[in-house]
C-alpha cells in the first residue's frame, strides 16, 4: 500500500511549528499518533518523517536526507536562501527550493530598543554606528546595509532582550509573535523588518526525480488535504 506521502521523506521541525505541521500531515492521511506522543524518537520511517530543530531542516533537505521539509522563513532568510521557482538561482545559501508558504507560525522580525527616546537613533547621530544584538546576524546585517545604516552586530544565543538592558547594545533584532516578551522587558518595536511564516522546501534532486509525488502532495495541500 502506498503511503499518504507517496514514499517521500519529510523533515518536521520540533518547537513552535511542530503542532501545526503535524496537523498538516494528519490532514494528508498520515498516522501521527506516535509522532505526537514520542518526543524522544527522531526517525519515523513508517510514515516517512524525521524530526529536528527548525534551523537544521534546510541542512537535511539540502543533503537529501529528506525530500521535503518545513521550517520558518526566518531560518531560510538567515541561511541566505533566496526564494524562487525551481531552476532559478538560489543565491549563496542552501541549495533547496522554497515551494509553498504554509501560512501558519506567523511572526515578525523586528528592530527594538528600550522605551523612551530611541537609543539606536541617538547612537547613529552621535557616533555614526549603532550596536545591535541578535540571533539572526545575516538578516540584521542585510537590513542595515539595505537601509544605509552602520551597525555593529553582536550575535547572542540566549535571551536577546537582556543585551540592551545591560547597556551592551542600543538595539536588538529578534522574532516576535505577540510582542509580550519585549513589553515585559521595557522594549518597544521601532521597525518591522520581515514577516515570517512556515515554508515548505524541497531537495532539488528529489524535486526532479520525485516530481509526480511532490506535485501531488502540493495539490493536496493547496486543496486543504
Question: For residue range 161-215, what is the model confidence (pLDDT) as tens digits?
Answer: 999 999 999 999 999 999 999 999 999 999 999 999 999 999 999 999 999 999 9
C-alpha separations of 148 from 75, 129, 131, 145, 154 in Å? 24, 11, 15, 5, 18
CB 165 within 8 A of CB 114: yes
Asked if pLDDT for residue 107 goes beyond 60, the answer is: yes
**CATH class of residue range 10-105+197-222:** alpha beta
Check if 10-105+197-222 and 107-196 are the same fold.
Answer: yes
Task: Return the CATH number of the domain spanning residue range 107-196.
Answer: 3.40.190.10
Sequence spans of domains, the chain: 10-105+197-222, 107-196
Amino acid at each position: 500500500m502506498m503511503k499518504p506521502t507517496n514514499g517521500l521523506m519529510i523533515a518536521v521541525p520540533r518547537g513552535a511549528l511542530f503542532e501545526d505541521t503535524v496537523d498538516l500531515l494528519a490532514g494528508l492521511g498520515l498516522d501521527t499518533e506516535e509522532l505526537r506522543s514520542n518526543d524522544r524518537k527522531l526517525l519515523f520511517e513508517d510514515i516517512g518523517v524525521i524530526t529536528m530543530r527548525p534551523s537544521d531542516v534546510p541542512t537535511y533537505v539540502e543533503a537529501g536526507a529528506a525530500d521535503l521539509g518545513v521550517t520558518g522563513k526566518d531560518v531560510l532568510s538567515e541561511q541566505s536562501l533566496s526564494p524562487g521557482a525551481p531552476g532559478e538561482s538560489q543565491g549563496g545559501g542552501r541549495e533547496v527550493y522554497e515551494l509553498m508558504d504554509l501560512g501558519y507560525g506567523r511572526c515578525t522580525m523586528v528592530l527594538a530598543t528600550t522605551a523612551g527616546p530611541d537609543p539606536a537613533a541617538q547612537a547613529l547621530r552621535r557616533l555614526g554606528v549603532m550596536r545591535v544584538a541578535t540571533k539572526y546576524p545575516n538578516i540584521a546585517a542585510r537590513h542595515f546595509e539595505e537601509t544605509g545604516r552602520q551597525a555593529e552586530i553582536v550575535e547572542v544565543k540566549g535571551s536577546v532582550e537582556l543585551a540592551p538592558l545591560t547597556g551592551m547594545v542600543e538595539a536588538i533584532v529578534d522574532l516576535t509573535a505577540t510582542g509580550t516578551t519585549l513589553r515585559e522587558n521595557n522594549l518597544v518595536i521601532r521597525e518591522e523588518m520581515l514577516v515570517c511564516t512556515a515554508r515548505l522546501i524541497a531537495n532539488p534532486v528529489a524535486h526532479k526525480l520525485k516530481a509526480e509525488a511532490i506535485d501531488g502532495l502540493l495539490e493536496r495541500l493547496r486543496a486543504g488535504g
